[in-house]
Amino acid sequence: MPFKRDRNDYVHHHPKSSRSSSSSSTTSAQFTWLEMVWMVIVSLSYLLGYGIQISIIVERFSLEEPPHNRALYVVFFILPHVMAGLKNLQYHYREAQEDEEENSALSWVIHIVCLPFSPLIRFARAWRFGMKEKDNWEYGVRFIDELVTVGVLRLFEVFLGDGPVLCLLVRDDVWWSSQDWSMQITGPPNLLKCGPACKDIGEKPIGFWTVFRMLFLLSKMAQCVTFYLVIVKRLQRLQYPEHYRHLKGSNARQGRLNFFATLLLYLAHFFFIGSRIMGYSMVGATWGAWVYLIVGLHWLLNTAWHLITVLRSEGLTAARSVSSMVMGGVWLICLTNEQGGRQLGRFIMYYSFAFAESAICGYLWVAAMKGSGDFFEAKAPWSMLVVYLVGLVAHMLYYTLCHPGSPSITSRGLLCCSGNRWDPVDQHA
């Protein structure tokens, strides 16, 4: 059964043309016990994240002194799941046009009723195709394709939901609670003069749950991005195996990363996304709605950059414009490379923009907090810079030690907006 993604989508999948008799990478198993474990972990992370966000909303609306704009927690919880569900319905509509079995009334009811849980539908489909891979090799390709679809749907969850919610949490529980953090770390004021009263400070204002949910959401965001990048890499190898025959090792040709490479990629995104969250929340805590100006301008810049790449490779359509807007939002927290081709130039340009944004956020924080004596007055901008640098170093280590393409600093290696998706290696380099 042929299956095609629309040419206007994030990735372009043509399984009938992806098999090559001269390439062993397409005939190897795509659904293994490692994929089973990975799917279970990602599914549990998705469900746990759902529960944590609901618990955050319940807590915010039960406080005697509710935080400012607490309704935003509800908005950023509902919006990403609805948008992901609508995107999933678009995918299902295409599938229903190509396959009569997908066009059944029961299938439509499932996709509509389970719209807020659309990634779980795709996980179930991926599991079904993976189990059938032994009977037909194409099901292994469809297994990877379904996982890419899961990755796309969860990108909505990351940049429309987890990111904004985490910014609100850091604003409310860190920057706006600086006195509580100061008391927990350094103790009450006049510690030497308070005598017996110091023996019982009382309940800690910043507890385990407060820190855990922030770290969990940050880890979940890094996990989503890493999952998407790894699985897209594998799908690209299956689509066009001829472009990767020069790579050494079957795993490199298949786009499979070892544990160390995956861990480095995860850590790079964990710390880099953490620096973005810190910067945005710092501006939001001190300048309020002005943070939307910084986010909006950066979003437009990323969207324009993505549109230039698409325009030079395939031309501009309404669907590609919408896709560029989505990826422009995702690029606020991570750099993806669904276009294929050389990445070094994009990497340098992206981190330069991110550094400039970090400098602006740090300057605005210092300008607003100067002379206030706040516990985080000097700590916040330096902490953001350190977290940013750790993420940058981890990403550089990944490209230096684990990237199969061995990026080199050449005129071709620095291409950042190439119209050639695959940008073949220069024979004379």
Task: Give the separation between CA 380 and CA 383, rounded to whole angstroms.
Answer: 5
Note whether 34 and 124 are same-domain residues: yes
Q: How many CB atoms lie within 10 A of CB 423?
A: 18
Task: Give the separation between CA 70 and CA 93, rounded to whole angstroms.
Answer: 36
Answer whether residue 203 is part of any domain. Answer: no
Overall domain count for the chain? 2
Q: Tens digit of pLDDT for each residue in 229-238?
A: 889 888 888 8
What is the model's pLDDT at position 176?
A: 87
What would the mean pLDDT of 109-117 be, rounded to a whole number? 92
Task: Give the separation between CA 333 and CA 330, rounded to whole angstroms.
Answer: 6
Answer whether residue 293 is part of any domain. Answer: yes
Band (pLDDT 50/70/90 cuts) for residue 270 is very high
- Higher per-residue confidence, 307 vs 393: 393
Band (pLDDT 50/70/90 cuts) for residue 408 is very low
The pLDDT of residue 393 is above 70: yes
Coil, strand or helix: which one is 120? helix
Band (pLDDT 50/70/90 cuts) for residue 129 is very high
Q: What DSSP designation does 200 have? A: -
Answer whether residue 200 is part of any domain. Answer: no
Note whether 359 and 379 are same-domain residues: yes
What is the model's pLDDT at position 72?
A: 92
Note whether 265 and 276 are same-domain residues: yes
What is the model's pLDDT at position 186?
A: 65
Answer whether residue 287 is part of any domain. Answer: yes
Asked whether the beta carbons of 295 and 324 are under 8 A apart, the reply is no
Average predicted confidence (pLDDT) for the chain: 80
What is the model's pLDDT at position 413?
A: 43
What is the model's pLDDT at position 212?
A: 92
Considering only 138-147, 337-346, 365-374, 407-416, which range has the smallest mean pLDDT?
Answer: 407-416
Task: Give the separation between CA 66 and CA 169, rounded to whole angstroms.
Answer: 13
What is the model's pLDDT at position 74?
A: 94
Considering only 194-208, 236-250, 361-375, which range has the smallest mean pLDDT?
Answer: 194-208
Q: Which two tokens stand for residue 16?
A: 């009938």
Range of the domain at 250: 1-195+209-256
Q: Tens digit of pLDDT for each residue in 137-191?
A: 888 889 999 999 999 999 988 888 999 999 999 999 899 888 877 776 666 555 4
What is the model's pLDDT at position 204?
A: 56
Band (pLDDT 50/70/90 cuts) for residue 109 is very high
Answer whether residue 204 is part of any domain. Answer: no
Summary count for the chain: helices (H), strands (E): 14, 0
Note whether 227 and 376 are same-domain residues: no
Asked whether the beta carbons of 347 and 335 are under 8 A apart, the reply is yes
Q: Tens digit of pLDDT for each residue in 348-362?
A: 889 999 999 999 999
What would the mean pLDDT of 306-310 be, rounded to a whole number? 80
What is the model's pLDDT at position 37?
A: 87
Coil, strand or helix: which one is 5? coil
pTM: 0.84
Band (pLDDT 50/70/90 cuts) for residue 327 is confident
Considering only 209-218, 330-339, 354-363, 408-417, which range has the smallest mean pLDDT?
Answer: 408-417
What is the model's pLDDT at position 414?
A: 41
Cβ neighbourhood burial of 148 (10 Å; 0-12, 13-18, 19+) = buried
What would the mean pLDDT of 53-67 be, rounded to a whole number? 88
Answer whether residue 131 is part of any domain. Answer: yes
Band (pLDDT 50/70/90 cuts) for residue 51 is very high
What is the model's pLDDT at position 205?
A: 56
Asked whether the beta carbons of 251 and 389 are under 8 A apart, the reply is no
Task: Give the separation between CA 220 and CA 47, rounded to whole angstroms.
Answer: 11
Note whether 36 and 165 are same-domain residues: yes
What is the model's pLDDT at position 21?
A: 36
Note whether 250 and 262 are same-domain residues: no
Note whether 240 and 185 are same-domain residues: yes
Note whether 115 and 98 are same-domain residues: yes
Task: Give the separation between CA 121 and CA 95, rounded to whole angstroms.
Answer: 14
- Higher per-residue confidence, 225 vs 423: 225
Note whether 221 and 327 are same-domain residues: no
Note whether 310 and 249 are same-domain residues: no
What would the mean pLDDT of 66-93 be, rounded to a whole number? 90
What is the model's pLDDT at position 308?
A: 82
What is the model's pLDDT at position 185?
A: 67
315: alpha, beta or left? (left if phi > 0; alpha if psi -120 to 50):
left
Answer whether residue 60 is part of any domain. Answer: yes
Note whether 236 and 102 are same-domain residues: yes
The pLDDT of residue 15 is above 70: no
Note whether 24 and 119 are same-domain residues: yes
What would the mean pLDDT of 260-278 be, rounded to a whole number? 93
Answer whether residue 237 is part of any domain. Answer: yes
What is the model's pLDDT at position 70?
A: 87
Can you spell out the DSSP letters for 197-222? GGG---S-SS-HHHHHHHHHHHHHHH
Asked whether the beta carbons of 301 and 353 are under 8 A apart, the reply is yes
